[in-house]
Structure 1
Amino acid sequence: MALLAIGIGVVYYLAAGSLPEYDATVEVDGLNGPVEIVRDLHAVPHIFGETDEDVFFGLGYAHAQDRLWQMTMLRRTAQGRLSELFGEATVEIDHLLRALDIYGVAQAMVPNQSPETQSAMRAYAAGVNARLREVQAEALGRGAPEFFLFGAEIAPWTPADSIAVNRIMALQLTDHASRETLRAELSLLLSPERLDDIQPLPPLPPDLERPDFSSLFPEVMPTRDAQPPVAPLFAALNPVHEVGSAGASNAWAAAPSRSASGATVMASDPHLGLSAPSIWMLARLEFPGSGGVIGGTIPGLPGILIGRNADFGWGLTTSYMDDQDVYIERIDPNDPTQYITPTGSQKFRSRDILINVKGAPARQVTLRWTRHGPVIPGDHYRAADITPPGHVAALAWTALDPNDRSMDTLMGLMRARSIAEGRLALRPLISPPQNVIMADREDVALQVMGKMPHRRDTHVGQGRIPVPGWVEENDWLGYLPFDDNPRVLSPDSGMVINTNNRTTDAPFPRHMSFSWGDSQRIGRAQRLLGQREFHTPESFIDAQTDIVSPTARTLLPLIGRDLWWQDGTGPEDRLTPLRKTALERLAEWNGEMSEHRPEPLVYAMWVRALQIRLMRDELGPVADRLDRVEALFIERAFLDIDGAAAWCDVVTSRAVETCQDMAALALDDALDTLSAQYGNRVESWRWGEAHRAFHEHQVLGGIPVLSFFANIVQPTSGGDNTLMRGRTRGEDPDPFTNVHGSALRVIYDFGDPEGSRYIISTGQSGHMLSRHYDDLATLWRRGDYIPMSLDPERARADAIGVTRLVPR
């Protein structure tokens, strides 16, 4: 016992050594003058310096104080060097990132940023490196506890590292390549009409035909699902998401004509995968010449991504612009080092690399690029399942363009003083495409940023399926002009609202996307925000934290209409009491996905079981790729739109089953599962027990004992389609775990500059022993916020410490 106590004490002592000291004076190299980092009550850094470069230096230092491990993991991911720490489990991730050459693209982008932006990035990197030198000189616990387990070698930070982090974010915010391969795989199993049930399309021009993958590649046969290429232990490190798991978000703004105070009000809450710590960190930067900027930062990036200054505020939602195409390239049968193009054979650009693997021999791989982009290795994006023999799949993606100037856009937004200046700042950005909701003191607007690929009218895949790479009609013609991007300026309604919903009715190829991130939340948002003539921050908070599911309100009357009116004279079985109680409660339920109620759990399990029954006999294991409820699919089936009720008939049985038959069977499936898990009293079931927000530490989250300290788990309200979104995992054994939501929420009121409100999903610190590791998590769960002020004196008034950086 004594030895155990001593061991625990030594571990704690070593780990605690990396806890940052917020109240200190530190001599550093690279400053023009002194910098103050004032930590408020919640450890939010307010950074003051004599020059803009010194302020960026301070931000780099503060990020490295609190999130050094997180920053280095983002960099290692971009570099494809995870396996040096984690062994064989992450080799496939490294292989993909090396194939995409994310880090090489980032290095090429640095000189394309403006001189002012390059100066800011260098100053930020110098701040990070000042903290690294301090950790080394003072033996500060290697900078973070994780480095005791996975190596302490940390290379100096560079401007390319910041751009690489930005590229990783772009990778996490798109899923169009995965959507293309999924549609291709589904088309091998379904008729065009039934495929449209699963992936409904907006009305198409009469001359636009639906692309048919099987006619393009008749040699491809349906295959069984491949196993995930990444070991579950470190799956959280994979930045490539399955369909439906890319970024989402809400944002809205009210002009002075729709505000109770006569000043603009704005709200933004971007949705990303939940993690511990959160990807977001709050900060305030006080620039000597232009004043303060407050909002959400991402450690590794030198600036405020979502925030406001005294005159201008902006928020982001994922635009779902179709920025990726998968090309099937035909290998020259006479020379495997070449592939076929419209003008003949062309040599692959290739190089051999070594992926160093901890505890195993280095892996030698050959990376290849085509004129469209990198060859996709392994079964990433599930491309291997739909690639014919003698062919390879390549990825065209706007984020791989080294001419991108997204860091210039970041700097421009922070310095903008009006919507006009904000829109001007968006022009040089190519990727990631986002909807930017903007507000100044006079008006509100929405502008889509990012460059749209210019596809020909004759593009055979229309960005919806993989296409032959040797057909010239499928090549991009560069990008469409920025002025073709959707925008809403000075709306007559006085409001802009976006929930990843469709933003344009332009026909292909200026359509922007055939796949949008939301068709459900937008109706709820428009109703809540439209029914009030004047808005306040409180009304925006009510909408941001709304937990009523429009999907539940739509689907329950369809799937339960006959069951509610049954007379109950049929034979009784063990589920009869549960069935009666569940249906009675659902009949009176308003669709509120409250963590404290049983109805959301019954509804969620019912529609999940129903979708499994409808899809499984037609799709087999491919149905596992559609593991979250597709609301429009169920609605189409039960309304028999274009014959969609055919899904309800079990193709392997003689009887002709109806949709109501399926609904009854699925309800019994759900009740049987729930009673086995939670007991036989419906009244005691709770949605929050199943819908737990799982803020997973990307590395320690799956390691026994350590996961107890590293992960942050709590019951939550909301669901897949509520405005306070808590997207579920979808996979057994815990399909309703909340893994994707609004990790940052902000409210700006230009009538009360000191009344801005913010919250992130965990805490400011990435250190498990810090009280600021999870101190904001409970507030986030309850829908509460913390204030952030542009007044320097208010920041100092409740400061828990001031770090003073002085030139050495």
Structure 2
Amino acid sequence: MRRFLRGLGRFLGILLGLLVVAGVVGFFWLRGATLAQHDGRLALGGLSAPVEVLREPRGVVHIKAENTHDMFFALGVVHAQERLWQMEFQRRVGAGRLSEVLGKATLEQDKFLRTWGFYRSAERAYQGISPQAKAAVDAYVAGVNAYLATNPPLPLEFRLLGFRPEPWKSADVMVWAKMMAYDLSGNWRSELQRYAWAAQGMSPERMAQLRPPYPEDAPTVLQSEDLKLPPPAPGESQPARTLLALAHSLPNNLVLAGDDKARASNNWVISGSRTTTGKPLLANDPHLGLGVPSVWFLVDLEAPGYRAIGSSFPGLPAVVIGRNDRIGWGVTTVGADVQDLYILDQVSGGYRYQGGIEPFQTRTETIKVKGQPDVRITVRESRYGPVISDVVKSAGSKPLALRWTALDPEDKTIEAFLGLAEAKNWAEFKAALSHYNAPSQNFVYADVDGNIAYMAPGKFPIRKPGHSGLMPVPGDGNWDWQGYLPQEEWPQVYNPKEGFIVTANNKVTAPGYPHTISLEWEEPYRAERIRQMILAKDKLSPEDMIAMQKDLKSLLYDAFKPVLETLTPLSEAAGEWKAKLLAWDGVARPEQQEPSVFEAWYTELTRLPKKEVGQEFWEEPRYILSALKSNDPNCDQPETTFAESCADFAALALERALKRLGEPVPRWGDLHQATFKHPVLTNVAPLRRFVDRAVPHGGDRYTVNRGAYDPANFHMTVGSSYRQILDFSDLERSLYIHPMGQSGSPLSGDFANLLPLWQRGEYLAMKTQDYPVQSRQRLEPLR
């Protein structure tokens, strides 16, 4: 028996060794079969002259070309080399063509996207851009297609799903800009929310309590002294009675998707009069959904008369956030209300409009579904835009049509981003932004001459008095938009007296501004905290900028601390944790337990109005605070057997939080992990561990170093997708980073090599010269 076991052991050892060898061989074969070439020469049809592509050890790419056509061409090649699957997935999302490769699981999503008409809008937008912008787009597309024509190694996803990418088109470039506009514009959902509440008989006053307006004493981007416009004219009140009557056509079980408030960003720019360097400092960190691969790609573009370094979107031929040799910029989302829903009075032959009957425009969309017959849908469009009630399961008997600036036939936003890199001063920067449509962004600016500035560009609709944009209005012609704000009346300031500008999705305009940009803003906590840190020092250094971007101080904790102070614990454990929380400094460090208890308690508090609003968690902290102080009727929860006061509710919420956390209470970083998931492969169990990543992270939804999480499990889903610090005393000392890595292939060493740096709050040097080079590739014209 022993001899048999020894023999079996030797056999198993040999077998295991062979399996390891086979696995290693298989890994390197698959790696070679899916990763692009990074050195040597690559001959490509469509180039007019050689282009040098240099890669740093961390994967940052530098492109040096003899003309801008070849520069954008090479950018298309490089993006395809590193992010081909991401680009493919994005264009299929925009075109509503996911079901062709993923099957019926994405059919409803494709129906939604086809109805909205993103790809049709992208095709129209391309036709309207300038010849120079078309040349850049066409060169980029030619670069992608020239690379595909070399029969390159395809990423793993193509092999697993069994298809090859089609050649690229100009609309494939344009459509992803549309999808980003969609991702950053969610007013239509809040309009539906209020419409549904009205259908249930909720008063406008109660709506304002559940979704409180922006606090009057909270910071705005522009100060009153920055405004040089006449005072607002008096307007009519919201025609609430008419809207409430119309709302009764909606069902009471309206379901809304998405959490638009989770996506946010920070940027600030500080004048040299307030810095240790004597020149401006500019910081930016956009907060987007975390995923695999990163949304961004770091690149340096150089051609005669053109220089841009910063962060690009794979699929777009531009540096979206960054600098050139003289100026730099950063962006955050304005949250402008550029969407309206119109209630159509449908009759035989169409819908009523200005006393007549206007027919719907219809088209048939054919959706191919992998393994299934084709699906055909009929899409209706009105003069306002698509009839979204045909695909959004939230409408009653009357159709709802969407009016949205991003779907306008003319959209030259791509021209704005192409022009920013060529700007040498504020006047040229503003001229580039004059082409901007959507999504409206807070642009902060600085230059080497010491100037700082701000502008919020975009097509801001002018509504009739009485139309706030908060709820749908009748689509009979009486509430149509009256045009758009002229550029000279966009929110803007140049060298403000205060010496700095802060934007954190907070309200843009101060009292005195005569136009409505939006009535819905992000909570002011991040803006307040950034201002606190700026005003805490007479002079700020580049190191202070780093510390600010890493800041984990929660002003949410400060806001709820008075509730804790008056809370009567219901158990010994709750009493102990109350004492610990009151002694805590409110800095949500990943290695501490206190953030776990506070965030769990706060999450339990957000369940307060779930019966009234139909959502498990209600992310409106100022409503929660007001409700707890005013003994809101929602405090008496329907599942308990006794009448709860708001003090009871707060105490019970702490008990529920401690029960949910268990013993011992986990550290915040163990619960709150920044989670990066692949959009497709995360659903395949054997591959999930191979492609997804998760790392401990501090902060919460309202910290400057943002850590917005899913309240159901505390997984961090939204955070800093890119960090940038520009030092205008020496732009070569600027810094940047994004999470994950430059490559989209999980088999590449550059797939997640930036994640540890990002997690620790470290950066890469944003250099256009004297940088380390790991590989050189020469792109040459095909002879």
**TM-score calculated relative to the size of structure 1:** 0.89
Aligned equivalent of 1:598, options 590, 593, 598: 593
1:465 and 2:471 equivalent? yes
Alpha-carbon contact 2:420-2:429 (below 8 Å) kept? yes
TM alignment of 1:407-806, pairs within 5 A: 407-441=414-448, 442-459=450-467, 462-470=468-476, 472-505=477-510, 510-563=515-568, 576-612=571-607, 614-619=608-613, 622-624=614-616, 627=617, 629-640=619-630, 645-650=632-637, 657-675=644-662, 680-682=663-665, 685-730=666-711, 732=712, 734=713, 736-791=714-769, 794-795=770-771, 798-806=772-780
The separation in 1 between residues aligned to 2:138 and 2:410, in whole angstroms, is 19
The separation in 2 between residues aligned to 1:331 and 1:603, in whole angstroms, is 51
- Post-superposition Cα deviations, 1:260-288, rounded to whole Å, max 9, x if no partner, equal 11111100111111111111010001122
Mark the CA change 1:607 to 1:213 in structure 2 (over 3 Å): closer, same or farther. Answer: farther
Alpha-carbon contact 2:236-2:465 (below 8 Å) kept? no
1:151 and 2:162 equivalent? yes
How far is 1:88 from its partner? Answer: 0.9
Mark the CA change 1:804 to 1:69 in structure 2 (over 3 Å): closer, same or farther. Answer: same
Mark the CA change 1:326 to 1:227 in structure 2 (over 3 Å): closer, same or farther. Answer: closer
- Post-superposition Cα deviations, 1:485-513, rounded to whole Å, max 9, x if no partner, equal 21122111110110010011468982100
The separation in 2 between residues aligned to 1:11 and 1:325, in whole angstroms, is 52
The separation in 2 between residues aligned to 1:493 and 1:227, in whole angstroms, is 41
The separation in 1 between residues aligned to 2:355 and 2:236, in whole angstroms, is 29
The size of the alignment, in residue pairs, is 747
The separation in 2 between residues aligned to 1:691 and 1:331, in whole angstroms, is 49
The separation in 1 between residues aligned to 2:138 and 2:611, in whole angstroms, is 57
Q: SS at 2:439's partner residue?
A: coil
1:348 — aligned with what?
360
Q: Identify the range of structure 1 (312-321 vs 520-529) with the bigger mean alpha-carbon deviation.
A: 520-529
The separation in 2 between residues aligned to 1:324 and 1:718, in whole angstroms, is 32
How far is 1:538 from its partner? Answer: 1.0
How far is 1:717 from its partner? Answer: 0.7
Q: SS at 2:261's partner residue?
A: coil
The separation in 2 between residues aligned to 1:603 and 1:379, in whole angstroms, is 40
The separation in 1 between residues aligned to 2:242 and 2:594, in whole angstroms, is 42
Alpha-carbon contact 1:435-1:446 (below 8 Å) kept? yes
AA in 1 matched with 2:129: Q
TM alignment of 1:216-255, pairs within 5 A: 216-217=245-246, 219-220=248-249, 223-224=252-253, 226=255, 241-245=258-262, 247-255=263-271
1:573 — aligned with what?
none
- Post-superposition Cα deviations, 1:461-495, rounded to whole Å, max 9, x if no partner, equal x211122212x232112212122221122111110
AA in 2 matched with 1:777: L
2:315 — aligned with what?
300
AA in 1 matched with 2:593: P
Mark the CA change 1:377 to 1:36 in structure 2 (over 3 Å): closer, same or farther. Answer: farther
Aligned equivalent of 1:24, options 36, 40, 56: 40
Q: Identify the range of structure 1 (31-40 vs 528-537) with the bigger mean alpha-carbon deviation.
A: 528-537
The separation in 2 between residues aligned to 1:152 and 1:760, in whole angstroms, is 30
Unaligned runs of 5+ in 1: 229-240, 571-575
The separation in 2 between residues aligned to 1:558 and 1:586, in whole angstroms, is 11
AA in 2 matched with 1:344: G
Q: SS at 2:577's partner residue?
A: helix
The separation in 2 between residues aligned to 1:30 and 1:545, in whole angstroms, is 45
The separation in 2 between residues aligned to 1:108 and 1:618, in whole angstroms, is 43
1:163 and 2:174 equivalent? yes
Mark the CA change 1:67 to 1:429 in structure 2 (over 3 Å): closer, same or farther. Answer: same
Q: SS at 2:456's partner residue?
A: strand
The separation in 2 between residues aligned to 1:717 and 1:634, in whole angstroms, is 23
How far is 1:649 from its partner? Answer: 3.8
How far is 1:782 from its partner? Answer: 1.1
2:378 — aligned with what?
366
- Post-superposition Cα deviations, 1:581-620, rounded to whole Å, max 9, x if no partner, equal 31121011111111111111111111111221x213434x
Alpha-carbon contact 1:753-1:790 (below 8 Å) kept? no
TM alignment of 1:365-404, pairs within 5 A: 365-376=377-388, 378-380=390-392, 384-385=393-394, 387-389=395-397, 391-404=398-411
The separation in 1 between residues aligned to 2:88 and 2:589, in whole angstroms, is 38
Aligned equivalent of 2:304, options 288, 304, 307: 288
The separation in 1 between residues aligned to 2:396 and 2:750, in whole angstroms, is 52
Q: SS at 1:249's partner residue?
A: strand
- Post-superposition Cα deviations, 1:183-203, rounded to whole Å, max 9, x if no partner, equal 222344433333212211247
- Post-superposition Cα deviations, 1:373-421, rounded to whole Å, max 9, x if no partner, equal 00115553xxx33x332x2111111001121111110111011111221
1:39 — aligned with what?
55
TM alignment of 1:313-352, pairs within 5 A: 313-332=328-347, 335=348, 337-352=349-364
Alpha-carbon contact 2:564-2:582 (below 8 Å) kept? no
AA in 1 matched with 2:418: M
Q: SS at 1:719's partner residue?
A: coil
The separation in 1 between residues aligned to 2:515 and 2:437, in whole angstroms, is 16
1:129 and 2:148 equivalent? no
AA in 1 matched with 2:78: A
How far is 1:650 from its partner? Answer: 4.4
Alpha-carbon contact 1:617-1:652 (below 8 Å) kept? no
2:237 — aligned with what?
208
Q: Structure 1 vs Structure 2: percent identity of aligned residues?
A: 35
The separation in 1 between residues aligned to 2:760 and 2:483, in whole angstroms, is 47
Unaligned runs of 5+ in 2: 1-14, 217-231
Alpha-carbon contact 1:26-1:803 (below 8 Å) kept? yes
**TM-score calculated relative to the size of structure 2:** 0.91
Mark the CA change 1:130 to 1:702 in structure 2 (over 3 Å): closer, same or farther. Answer: same
How far is 1:289 from its partner? Answer: 2.0
Mark the CA change 1:739 to 1:654 in structure 2 (over 3 Å): closer, same or farther. Answer: closer
1:117 — aligned with what?
133
Q: SS at 2:606's partner residue?
A: helix
Q: SS at 1:636's partner residue?
A: helix
TM alignment of 1:166-181, pairs within 5 A: 166-181=177-192
- Post-superposition Cα deviations, 1:244-269, rounded to whole Å, max 9, x if no partner, equal 24x41100011111111111110011
AA in 1 matched with 2:456: V
Q: Identify the range of structure 1 (46-55 vs 204-213) with the bigger mean alpha-carbon deviation.
A: 204-213
Q: SS at 1:623's partner residue?
A: coil
How far is 1:518 from its partner? Answer: 3.1
TM alignment of 1:174-189, pairs within 5 A: 174-189=185-200
Alpha-carbon contact 1:552-1:591 (below 8 Å) kept? yes
AA in 2 matched with 1:604: E
1:231 — aligned with what?
none
Q: How large is the RMSD of aligned CA atoms in angstroms?
A: 2.3
Alpha-carbon contact 1:213-1:466 (below 8 Å) kept? no
Alpha-carbon contact 2:236-2:466 (below 8 Å) kept? no
How far is 1:546 from its partner? Answer: 0.5
Q: SS at 1:412's partner residue?
A: helix
1:264 — aligned with what?
280
